[in-house]
Amino acid sequence: MDVEHEAGPRVVPLQGCSNLRDLGGYRAADGRRVRMGRVFRSASLAHLTEADLAQFGTLGIRTVCDLRGARETGRAPSRLPSTDTPEVVSLPIEPLVGASLRDLLRREEATGEDTYALLQAAYAAYAGEHLPRYRALFALLGEDERLPLLFHCSAGKDRTGFGAALLLTALGVPREAVVADYLATNRIWQREYALPPETPEAVRDVLLTAHRPLLDGALAQAVERYGSLERQLEDGLGLDPARLRALRDAMLE
């Protein structure tokens, strides 16, 4: 059976954010499933409509982790319900691609290959210098009073996609299901508020697509840095055996 159709993805339908999903439903290697309604991933929450805010409120989200950089959040602050407003925790991962791409566009030299290389560098940074941000995310996930928790970036594709892959992997979800969740952005995300219209088509196609080799490469790099998945979980993400067991017990049923 196809792993994606067996378990998800479970989209929360909104008008102003097409890539908000419940990470629940995926089956882990021990036979348990990720609990529904505990962790969500999404794109920017800046454009939620009044109807979206009402729907968002039904999710009971207590914590929103914003992985966007300072300029991104300044340009597009999140729009959240005015009652039972979740706490927003900033875990900024400054976008490596944006500034470099602007330089290329100014010189009219940007190609699809250039853009893919920028994305590769960004994913390498997620697995390296930015891994402490994901460690902080896992610390929040370990606090029951913080749940349900939602984490997001601008598109919900790269920074968020890597974070979701780290979490599902830590919970013991098989790699093909992890990848299926990552690639689902290519079908679900409507590319709203994404790029200026003058962006070359080749650049747009690469930048607005989730690419499996980028995810596979970053996950492998994160493990190689520590020598094993177990050491990466413990030393990189703060999940020693006791914390990992507690996380799985809280997130799986």
Residues designated as active site: 153
Nearest to 193 by CA among 69, 81, 48: 48
**Residue 64 in 3-state DSSP?**
strand
Residue with tokens 């010189």: 107
**Residue 135 in 3-state DSSP?**
helix
**Residue 161 in 3-state DSSP?**
helix
pLDDT tens digits, residue range 116-174?
A: 998 999 999 999 999 999 999 999 999 999 999 999 999 999 999 999 999 999 999 99
DSSP state, 85? P
Structural domains of the chain sorted by starting position, each given as residue range(s) with its CATH number in brackets: 9-251 (3.90.190.10)
DSSP state, 89? E
Alpha helices in 68-211 (DSSP H): 70-75, 96-106, 112-127, 131-141, 159-170, 175-183, 185-188, 201-207
pLDDT tens digits, residue range 17-76?
A: 999 999 999 999 999 999 999 999 999 999 999 999 999 999 999 999 999 999 889 999
Task: Indicate the pLDDT class of residue 202, thresholds 50, 70 and 90.
Answer: confident
* 67 within 8 A of 93, measured Cβ to Cβ: yes
Nearest to 3 by CA among 179, 187, 167, 211: 179
